[in-house]
Amino acid sequence: MPDTKLCLEALSALSGCNVEPTSGASQLTPQDFVNIVVLKQFYKQEGFKELEYPSIGTLSLQDLDDQDMYSSPPALGEGPSTAGPEESLRATVKINPQDFFHPQYDYDFTNIKDGDTKFLRGNEQYIRPCGWNRAALRVMQKYDGGDCWLGTGKDAWPVSYNGHNMDGSLGIILTRGESPADEPQFLDAAAACLVTKETRGRGVYSTPDIKMAEKYCKRFKSKVDGKTYKVVLQNRINPKKRNKCQREDIWLVYIPEVCNDVQTRAIVQESIRPYGLLLMQV
């Protein structure tokens, strides 16, 4: 796998916490990290300044400098942000690499090119993260219902990716139903949204396209080797919870307005499960 210290730096960059190694029990699970990443995006979009997360406490959502990891996302084609909050202002999280990572399932896609070769997960196209190096996360036998969600068959969940700043500001208009019968209603609602300038579906966002995630990914300069890296989370997404948006390269997990913090976190945990930490040297 990539250097363990480098992976911890990547987790720090994604979460906005100082992630440090420990020989004891990990303070957070891989699921906690995807929760933190998407919830920080969601609550910032909702206008909140802080996120309260169990076992960590208060996480700031405010921009601490012009290149804060949760500042407004760049326009498509622009480079991603490069710096996060000052380390002294971050919460510290202890992770035991041995119970957090799963090296047996690491995969280095750095020099792989798939070309026209198609891959499937859950009968949906899997765009493999070619050009990236994946550190596998230890998620097998961690969820009720077994590990079929993580497989390659028809019962597997599709693959999605999460950059650090994917939210409704991508200019997405509502969500679209799977049935063609929904199309007229969708078009009417989309037209109404254009009039009211409300273009965001309420929820958390990810993408099946690694290239889209890369545009919104987090960069960090490693203290291990002095090099700059990009980092993205590779997830599986529950097909029953995911909504396809007007843009085919964006998926939304809808969160109703009536949900409190606990219910919101439960929806995320039922919908998005991480299994890989992707790194690419810039």
Q: What pLDDT score was predicted for residue 59?
A: 87
Among 242, 281, 28, smallest CA distance to 138 is for 28
Q: What pLDDT score was predicted for residue 87?
A: 57
Instruction: Supply the Cα-derived Rg of the chain in whole angstroms.
Output: 18
Backbone angles phi, psi at 172, to 5 degrees: -90, 135
Each residue's pLDDT tens digit, 1-22:
789 999 999 999 999 899 999 9
The partner residues of 133 in beta bridges, in order of sequence, read 108, 279
Q: What pLDDT score was predicted for residue 86?
A: 54
The percent of the chain in helix, strand and coil, each rounded to the nearest 5, is 30, 25, 45
Residues of the chain with pLDDT under 50: 63-85, 171, 173-183, 186-187, 189-199
Q: What pLDDT score was predicted for residue 167?
A: 67
Within 13 Å and on the Cβ side, how many CA atoms surround 282? Answer: 19
Q: What pLDDT score was predicted for residue 68?
A: 37
The residues spanned by each domain of the chain are 4-281
Whether 73 and 170 have beta carbons less than 8 Å apart is answered as: yes
